[in-house]
Structure 1
Amino acid sequence: MVEEKFEQELLKEVEDQDEQKSRKINYFEKLLPLWVAICIVLGILISQLLPGVSSLINSLSIGNISIPIGICLFLMMYPAMLNLQASELKKLGRNPKPIILTLVSNWLVAPFVGLLMVNIFLPGDSEIVRQLGFAIILLSSSPCTAMVLVWGWMAKGNQEQNVLNTSLNTITII
């Protein structure tokens, strides 16, 4: 009996160590802000030096839905979905509270927070202020999907719930 208890404790300790190792931030993740900045600069350079690329990417769409953006969204969300448990996803359907909270906060609360920010930080009535204000309101109602998955993973949150909410939000944005 004592040996069995010792084995269980040892097994639990090994599992905890494995989880801690898998949760450590690797070199690439530590420099994520740098990679994002590099991608932003590259995007700006490509758009300025090769203006035809923008037209090409815009032509690759069905209706108003951009195929390249859809592919990139899938590639960003795919790694977070690799370890999902189907049984956990089924349980999420029985508890709609987090889903409803996500939709309400993203579509009823966040746009008004964006509007408040526009009124505080962008006074005036010029065309550029109206366009920037509209962009801020849109962005406030559509949080960054890819980083939400990373933050949920780093916080050791419920990845199944995180992926479901992020996917639902992405679909409602489209």
Structure 2
Amino acid sequence: MTAPSTDASDGAVLERLSTLDRYLPVWILMAMGAGLGLGSAVDGLGDALDALAIGTVSLPIGLGLLLMMYPVLAKVRYGEIARDRSPQTRRMLGASLVLNWVIGPALMFALAWLLLPDEPEFRTGLIIVGLARCIAMVLIWSDLSCADREATALLVAINSVFQIVAYSVLGWFYLTALPDLLGLDSQGFAVGLWEVARTVLIFLGVPLVAGALTRGIGVRRLGEQAYEARVLARISPLALHGLLFTIVMLFALQGDAITREPLDVARIALPLLVYFAVMFAAGIAVGRRLQLGYPRTASLAFTAAGNNFELAIAVSIGVFGATSGQALAGVVGPLIEVPVLVGLVSVALWLRRRWSTPLPTGTTA
């Protein structure tokens, strides 16, 4: 796989970013405010948007996610993914599966019970978020942090396939079997394979096929350099436009619940903050231990810290109802994840500069 160069400083990286990319935290705050304003100013807007759904899949949020993921997936060099059989790649895949499916769910289970012992609905919602692993926004964070784009796409694809198989089983384990074994109160959990597979296929399969076709046709007709200079330059801004649109829709849909119960939101946010920080740090530590280099370590860290919030929200609404505490916890997930992972992009770029600095004799990267 071709990894981004690590020669440039953070300042050089920032200079190459567009105005939209460079001031992303500002635009995100404005999008949050716009969503809250829309939800408050237009009576019934939240109900109207919530009604635009197929099953438990929200069409407005779905549109934003598809718009967000397509340009990033059109950048991926799929041929390089297919050719990579290196031991380093196998170590990276193994580490990702352990971080995502052993450490991540167990950490969220522990945090939910430790910090929300008296709130069973919020606790259950957080565990559902912890079980929904990386898909959508991790592609944006990976791109902004100059991670290995092909490695990120591979990790997302592998974890998505694993998610179809593992989500229901782990949901039963963490929400029924393990609480019963430990003598804890349990609300139970029952989600069919199709509900999980449908969400994964829509929010990964559709943009993946579109991105691969765009790249394949574009490179064949224009050549690699012309495709990247002409096609990608035009469609790349759509990713962040989709991100901001998704944030506006989320706040417009749930703004009333968020502003009405700020203490509940704060209590849900605390374990999420700890979770994102610990998972990101674990990904960085494992990547350094395996000597993956900065680009792949960043890919590993962001795929470990990111969550598939659309799946978590869809499952919470489908099983417990749109007005449930579980659904509120699912919605708070991305509202906390977005600003936190934007901050972690800055942390990653700082680490990138240190990674490219020669280390003292006798140390290893």
Where do residues 1-174 of structure 1 align in structure 2 (5 Å cutoff)?
Answer: 24-91=16-83, 98=92, 101-122=95-116, 124-125=117-118, 129-142=119-132, 145-166=135-156, 168=160, 171=200, 173=308, 174=311
After TM superposition, give the deviation of residue 68 of structure 1 in Å: 2.2
Structure-2 separation of matches of 1:60 and 1:43: 17
Aligned-CA RMSD value:
3.4
CA distance in structure 1 between the partners assigned to 2:70 and 2:44 by the alignment: 30
Unmatched runs of 5 consecutive residues or more in structure 2 = 1-6, 164-198, 202-307, 312-365
2:25 & 2:80 partners in 1: Cα distance? 32
Residues 22 and 73 (structure 1), Cα distance of their counterparts in 2 relative to 1, 3 Å cut: same
Q: What per-residue deviation string (whole Å, max 9, x for no partner) do you get for residues 28-59 of structure 1?
A: 22221121112122222222232422222222
- Identical-pair percentage: 24
* Aligned counterparts of 1:171 and 1:58: Cα–Cα separation in 2: 20
Between stretches 99-108 and 60-69, larger displacement belongs to: 99-108
Does the 8 Å contact 1:118/1:136 carry over to 2?
A: yes
Aligned partners of 2:85 and 2:54: how far apart in 1? 31
* CA distance, structure 2, for counterparts of residue 93 and residue 51 of structure 1: 55
Q: CA deviation at 1:131?
A: 2.4
The one-letter code sitting in structure 2 at the alignment partner of 1:60 is L
What CA distance in whole angstroms lies between the structure 1 residues aligned with 2:90 and 2:61?
28
Q: Answer whether contact 2:39 2:46 (CA < 8 A) is retained.
A: yes
Task: Please tell me whether the aligned partners of residues 105 and 127 of structure 2 are also in contact (alpha carbons under 8 angstroms).
Answer: yes
By how many angstroms is 1:120 displaced? Answer: 3.1
* Contact 1:114 1:137 (C-alpha < 8 Å) held by counterparts: yes
- TM-superposition CA deviations, 1:54-89 (whole Å, max 9, x none): 222222222222222222111111221222223123
CA distance in 2, matches of 1:103, 1:44: 37
Shift of 1:159: 1.0
2:140 & 2:64 partners in 1: Cα distance? 15
Deviation at 1:113, TM superposition (A): 1.0
Secondary structure of the 1:106 match is helix
Distance 1:23 1:152 in 2: 18
Contact map agreement 1:80 1:163 (CA 8 A) in 2 = no
Quote the Cα distance in structure 1 between the aligned partners of 2:80 and 2:64.
Answer: 26
Q: Which has the higher contact order (CA 8 A, sep 6+)?
A: 2
Q: In structure 1, how many angstroms separate the alpha carbons of the residues matched to 2:57 and 2:97? A: 21
One-letter identity of the residue aligned with 2:47: S
Amino acid at match of 1:87: G
- SS of the counterpart of 1:156? coil
* Matched residue SS, 2:75: coil
Unaligned residue ranges in structure 1 (runs of 5+) = 1-15
Counterpart code for 2:64: C
| TM-score calculated relative to the size of structure 2 | 0.35
> Counterparts of 2:98 and 2:61 in 1: how far apart (Å)?
25
Q: Residues of 1 paired with 2:133 and 2:15: CA distance? A: 24
